[in-house]
Amino acid sequence: MYPLEKNMKQRSMDVRSVPKTMLAVFLAIAAGLAFAQSTEVKFPDRDSAMHKEGIFVSVENLRNVGPGLTKNQMYDLLGPPHFHEGVFGVKVWNYIFNFRQNGGVVTCQYQVQFDKDKLVRETYWKYPACADFLKEKVVAPVVVPIAAKPEKMRRYDLSADTLFIFGRSDLDDMLPAGRKQLDDLSDKIKSNTAALKRITITGHTDRIGSEASNLRLSLARAATVRGYLRSQGIDGNLIQIHGVGASQPVVTTCAPGKSAAVIACLQPNRRVTLDVSSE
Protein backbone atom coordinates (compact mmCIF):
# COMPACT_ATOMS: atom_id res chain seq x y z
CA MET A 1 0.00 0.00 0.00
CA TYR A 2 1.33 3.40 -0.95
CA PRO A 3 2.02 5.89 1.86
CA LEU A 4 -0.71 8.32 0.65
CA GLU A 5 -3.37 5.61 0.55
CA LYS A 6 -2.23 4.37 3.93
CA ASN A 7 -2.51 7.86 5.40
CA MET A 8 -6.05 8.42 4.01
CA LYS A 9 -7.19 5.04 5.24
CA GLN A 10 -5.80 5.86 8.70
CA ARG A 11 -7.75 9.17 8.78
CA SER A 12 -10.94 7.41 7.78
CA MET A 13 -10.46 4.94 10.59
CA ASP A 14 -9.80 7.84 13.02
CA VAL A 15 -13.14 9.49 12.16
CA ARG A 16 -15.01 6.26 12.56
CA SER A 17 -13.31 5.69 15.88
CA VAL A 18 -14.59 9.02 17.34
CA PRO A 19 -17.42 8.33 19.81
CA LYS A 20 -20.87 9.32 18.59
CA THR A 21 -21.41 11.67 21.57
CA MET A 22 -18.28 13.65 20.79
CA LEU A 23 -19.21 13.83 17.14
CA ALA A 24 -22.62 15.22 18.06
CA VAL A 25 -20.95 17.91 20.17
CA PHE A 26 -18.69 18.91 17.31
CA LEU A 27 -21.64 19.15 14.94
CA ALA A 28 -23.66 21.23 17.43
CA ILE A 29 -20.81 23.68 17.91
CA ALA A 30 -20.37 24.03 14.17
CA ALA A 31 -24.10 24.60 13.71
CA GLY A 32 -24.12 27.19 16.49
CA LEU A 33 -21.29 29.11 14.92
CA ALA A 34 -23.02 29.06 11.57
CA PHE A 35 -26.29 30.25 13.15
CA ALA A 36 -24.52 33.04 15.02
CA GLN A 37 -22.91 34.22 11.81
CA SER A 38 -26.25 34.16 10.02
CA THR A 39 -28.03 36.15 12.77
CA GLU A 40 -25.43 38.84 13.29
CA VAL A 41 -27.14 42.16 14.06
CA LYS A 42 -26.26 44.70 11.40
CA PHE A 43 -28.22 47.91 11.05
CA PRO A 44 -28.50 49.52 7.62
CA ASP A 45 -27.37 53.05 6.91
CA ARG A 46 -30.16 55.40 7.89
CA ASP A 47 -29.73 57.36 4.67
CA SER A 48 -30.85 54.31 2.71
CA ALA A 49 -34.26 54.29 4.40
CA MET A 50 -37.48 55.13 2.63
CA HIS A 51 -38.47 57.16 5.71
CA LYS A 52 -35.22 58.85 6.71
CA GLU A 53 -37.02 61.14 9.09
CA GLY A 54 -38.64 58.19 10.91
CA ILE A 55 -42.15 57.93 12.31
CA PHE A 56 -43.70 58.44 15.74
CA VAL A 57 -44.62 54.90 16.70
CA SER A 58 -47.19 53.78 19.25
CA VAL A 59 -45.23 52.81 22.35
CA GLU A 60 -48.08 50.53 23.38
CA ASN A 61 -47.77 48.68 20.05
CA LEU A 62 -44.04 48.30 20.58
CA ARG A 63 -44.65 46.81 24.01
CA ASN A 64 -46.81 44.13 22.36
CA VAL A 65 -43.99 42.97 20.09
CA GLY A 66 -42.46 39.66 21.13
CA PRO A 67 -41.16 36.30 19.89
CA GLY A 68 -43.66 34.16 17.99
CA LEU A 69 -45.58 36.95 16.26
CA THR A 70 -46.27 36.52 12.56
CA LYS A 71 -45.33 39.03 9.89
CA ASN A 72 -48.98 39.96 9.50
CA GLN A 73 -49.19 40.73 13.20
CA MET A 74 -46.00 42.76 13.02
CA TYR A 75 -47.34 44.64 10.02
CA ASP A 76 -50.46 45.54 12.00
CA LEU A 77 -48.43 46.73 14.98
CA LEU A 78 -45.57 48.62 13.33
CA GLY A 79 -46.46 48.91 9.67
CA PRO A 80 -44.13 47.99 6.79
CA PRO A 81 -40.34 48.14 7.26
CA HIS A 82 -38.70 51.47 6.48
CA PHE A 83 -35.89 50.17 4.29
CA HIS A 84 -35.78 48.46 0.89
CA GLU A 85 -35.20 44.92 2.18
CA GLY A 86 -38.70 43.80 1.21
CA VAL A 87 -41.49 42.33 3.29
CA PHE A 88 -42.23 38.67 2.57
CA GLY A 89 -39.06 37.00 1.37
CA VAL A 90 -36.72 38.36 4.04
CA LYS A 91 -35.90 37.52 7.66
CA VAL A 92 -35.09 41.05 8.83
CA TRP A 93 -37.23 44.20 9.02
CA ASN A 94 -35.71 47.55 9.98
CA TYR A 95 -37.46 50.63 11.29
CA ILE A 96 -36.71 54.21 12.29
CA PHE A 97 -38.79 55.41 15.23
CA ASN A 98 -39.07 58.82 16.88
CA PHE A 99 -39.76 59.49 20.54
CA ARG A 100 -40.39 62.76 22.34
CA GLN A 101 -38.14 63.52 25.29
CA ASN A 102 -37.67 66.71 27.30
CA GLY A 103 -39.15 68.91 24.62
CA GLY A 104 -37.04 67.35 21.84
CA VAL A 105 -37.15 64.30 19.57
CA VAL A 106 -34.95 61.20 19.85
CA THR A 107 -34.61 58.96 16.80
CA CYS A 108 -33.87 55.22 17.21
CA GLN A 109 -33.27 52.36 14.77
CA TYR A 110 -35.12 49.14 15.51
CA GLN A 111 -34.69 45.69 13.96
CA VAL A 112 -36.95 42.65 13.93
CA GLN A 113 -35.47 39.23 13.05
CA PHE A 114 -37.65 36.32 11.92
CA ASP A 115 -36.91 32.60 12.08
CA LYS A 116 -37.27 30.03 9.32
CA ASP A 117 -41.01 29.80 10.02
CA LYS A 118 -41.36 33.58 9.48
CA LEU A 119 -42.12 34.18 13.16
CA VAL A 120 -40.44 36.86 15.24
CA ARG A 121 -37.28 35.43 16.78
CA GLU A 122 -35.75 38.51 18.36
CA THR A 123 -35.78 42.32 18.28
CA TYR A 124 -32.89 44.76 18.67
CA TRP A 125 -32.23 48.47 19.18
CA LYS A 126 -29.19 50.00 17.55
CA TYR A 127 -28.66 51.91 20.77
CA PRO A 128 -29.78 49.91 23.85
CA ALA A 129 -30.82 53.09 25.66
CA CYS A 130 -33.72 53.39 23.21
CA ALA A 131 -35.37 50.43 24.95
CA ASP A 132 -36.01 52.71 27.93
CA PHE A 133 -38.81 54.41 25.99
CA LEU A 134 -40.82 51.18 26.34
CA LYS A 135 -40.56 51.06 30.12
CA GLU A 136 -43.73 51.78 31.99
CA LYS A 137 -43.53 55.14 33.69
CA VAL A 138 -44.12 54.78 37.39
CA VAL A 139 -46.26 57.66 38.49
CA ALA A 140 -46.08 58.29 42.18
CA PRO A 141 -49.55 58.45 43.67
CA VAL A 142 -50.63 61.94 44.53
CA VAL A 143 -51.36 62.04 48.21
CA VAL A 144 -53.88 64.71 48.95
CA PRO A 145 -53.76 65.51 52.64
CA ILE A 146 -57.13 65.45 54.25
CA ALA A 147 -57.64 68.77 55.89
CA ALA A 148 -58.33 68.35 59.55
CA LYS A 149 -61.68 69.57 60.59
CA PRO A 150 -61.28 72.80 62.52
CA GLU A 151 -62.09 72.39 66.16
CA LYS A 152 -65.00 74.27 67.61
CA MET A 153 -64.30 75.76 71.00
CA ARG A 154 -66.87 77.12 73.39
CA ARG A 155 -65.98 78.82 76.65
CA TYR A 156 -68.07 78.66 79.79
CA ASP A 157 -67.29 81.13 82.59
CA LEU A 158 -68.48 79.98 86.01
CA SER A 159 -68.33 82.34 88.94
CA ALA A 160 -66.22 80.95 91.77
CA ASP A 161 -68.50 82.70 94.24
CA THR A 162 -71.37 80.64 92.85
CA LEU A 163 -69.36 77.42 92.82
CA PHE A 164 -67.59 77.57 96.18
CA ILE A 165 -67.67 79.11 99.61
CA PHE A 166 -65.35 82.12 99.60
CA GLY A 167 -61.70 81.08 99.79
CA ARG A 168 -62.52 77.33 99.65
CA SER A 169 -62.08 74.68 96.96
CA ASP A 170 -63.17 71.21 98.13
CA LEU A 171 -66.19 69.31 96.84
CA ASP A 172 -67.80 69.69 100.28
CA ASP A 173 -67.38 73.45 99.87
CA MET A 174 -69.31 73.52 96.59
CA LEU A 175 -72.52 75.51 96.77
CA PRO A 176 -75.92 74.18 95.51
CA ALA A 177 -76.05 76.80 92.78
CA GLY A 178 -72.60 75.74 91.63
CA ARG A 179 -73.60 72.07 91.48
CA LYS A 180 -76.64 73.04 89.44
CA GLN A 181 -74.43 74.91 86.97
CA LEU A 182 -72.09 71.93 86.59
CA ASP A 183 -75.02 69.50 86.20
CA ASP A 184 -76.46 71.58 83.36
CA LEU A 185 -73.04 71.90 81.72
CA SER A 186 -72.41 68.15 82.02
CA ASP A 187 -75.68 67.44 80.22
CA LYS A 188 -74.68 69.76 77.37
CA ILE A 189 -71.29 68.11 77.01
CA LYS A 190 -72.68 64.58 77.13
CA SER A 191 -75.24 65.39 74.46
CA ASN A 192 -72.41 65.42 71.89
CA THR A 193 -69.81 63.11 73.40
CA ALA A 194 -68.79 61.64 70.02
CA ALA A 195 -67.52 65.05 68.86
CA LEU A 196 -65.83 65.94 72.15
CA LYS A 197 -62.08 66.46 71.77
CA ARG A 198 -60.90 68.18 74.90
CA ILE A 199 -61.99 70.16 77.99
CA THR A 200 -59.59 72.65 79.52
CA ILE A 201 -60.47 73.86 83.01
CA THR A 202 -58.68 76.92 84.35
CA GLY A 203 -59.03 78.26 87.87
CA HIS A 204 -58.68 82.02 88.59
CA THR A 205 -58.55 84.03 91.79
CA ASP A 206 -58.55 87.71 92.73
CA ARG A 207 -55.42 89.56 93.92
CA ILE A 208 -56.19 89.21 97.61
CA GLY A 209 -53.71 86.84 99.23
CA SER A 210 -50.20 85.76 98.29
CA GLU A 211 -49.29 84.67 94.82
CA ALA A 212 -48.47 81.13 95.97
CA SER A 213 -51.72 80.69 97.88
CA ASN A 214 -53.75 82.01 94.93
CA LEU A 215 -52.05 79.57 92.56
CA ARG A 216 -52.83 76.66 94.91
CA LEU A 217 -56.44 77.77 95.32
CA SER A 218 -57.04 78.24 91.60
CA LEU A 219 -55.58 74.82 90.75
CA ALA A 220 -57.50 73.11 93.56
CA ARG A 221 -60.80 74.58 92.30
CA ALA A 222 -60.03 73.40 88.73
CA ALA A 223 -59.27 69.91 90.08
CA THR A 224 -62.54 69.81 92.02
CA VAL A 225 -64.54 70.78 88.96
CA ARG A 226 -62.77 68.07 86.94
CA GLY A 227 -63.66 65.50 89.58
CA TYR A 228 -67.29 66.58 89.50
CA LEU A 229 -67.49 66.27 85.69
CA ARG A 230 -65.96 62.80 85.90
CA SER A 231 -68.59 61.80 88.43
CA GLN A 232 -71.19 62.83 85.84
CA GLY A 233 -69.81 60.37 83.28
CA ILE A 234 -67.44 62.59 81.29
CA ASP A 235 -64.13 60.99 80.26
CA GLY A 236 -61.47 62.37 82.61
CA ASN A 237 -58.73 61.61 80.03
CA LEU A 238 -60.13 64.45 77.94
CA ILE A 239 -59.91 66.98 80.75
CA GLN A 240 -56.89 69.20 81.41
CA ILE A 241 -56.64 71.53 84.39
CA HIS A 242 -54.64 74.69 85.08
CA GLY A 243 -54.41 77.16 87.93
CA VAL A 244 -53.27 80.68 87.08
CA GLY A 245 -54.00 82.51 90.33
CA ALA A 246 -54.62 86.22 89.86
CA SER A 247 -52.50 86.55 86.70
CA GLN A 248 -55.45 86.94 84.29
CA PRO A 249 -57.90 89.40 85.89
CA VAL A 250 -61.07 90.49 84.19
CA VAL A 251 -61.48 93.60 86.33
CA THR A 252 -58.49 95.84 87.00
CA THR A 253 -60.10 99.05 88.27
CA CYS A 254 -60.93 98.06 91.82
CA ALA A 255 -59.48 100.10 94.68
CA PRO A 256 -56.62 98.78 96.80
CA GLY A 257 -57.25 97.00 100.07
CA LYS A 258 -59.40 94.11 101.27
CA SER A 259 -62.62 95.80 102.22
CA ALA A 260 -66.02 94.24 101.54
CA ALA A 261 -66.49 96.70 98.70
CA VAL A 262 -63.15 95.73 97.16
CA ILE A 263 -63.94 92.02 97.53
CA ALA A 264 -67.28 92.60 95.80
CA CYS A 265 -65.58 94.60 93.06
CA LEU A 266 -63.07 91.79 92.47
CA GLN A 267 -65.80 89.15 92.22
CA PRO A 268 -65.58 88.74 88.36
CA ASN A 269 -61.91 87.74 88.73
CA ARG A 270 -62.82 84.78 90.95
CA ARG A 271 -63.95 82.30 88.35
CA VAL A 272 -63.46 78.91 86.72
CA THR A 273 -63.42 78.75 82.91
CA LEU A 274 -64.14 75.65 80.88
CA ASP A 275 -63.01 75.60 77.23
CA VAL A 276 -64.87 72.75 75.54
CA SER A 277 -63.37 71.76 72.16
CA SER A 278 -65.22 69.54 69.72
CA GLU A 279 -65.15 68.62 66.03
CATH number of this structure's domain 152-278, picked from the four choices 3.40.50.1820, 3.40.50.10420, 3.40.50.2300, 3.30.1330.60: 3.30.1330.60
Say yes or no to pLDDT of 18 above 80: no
Helix residue ranges, H only, the chain: 3-17, 20-38, 59-63, 71-78, 160-163, 176-190, 211-231, 260-265
**In the chain, where are the structural domains located?**
43-137, 152-278
Q: What's the per-residue H, E or C state across 244-263?
A: CCCCCCCCCCCCCCCCHHHH
The per-residue pLDDT for range 58-112, each reduced to its tens digit, is 999 999 999 999 999 999 999 999 998 777 888 999 999 999 999 999 999 999 9
The per-residue pLDDT for range 155-205, each reduced to its tens digit, is 999 999 999 999 999 999 999 999 999 999 999 999 988 889 999 999 999
- Residue 22 is predicted with a pLDDT of 55
Nearest-angstrom CA–CA distance, 85 and 37: 19
The bridge status of strand 152-159 relative to strand 120-125 is unpaired
Q: Are 120 and 81 in contact (CB under 8 A)?
A: no
Question: What fold is seen in the domain 43-137?
Answer: Beta-lactamase Inhibitory Protein; Chain:B, domain 1 (3.30.1450)
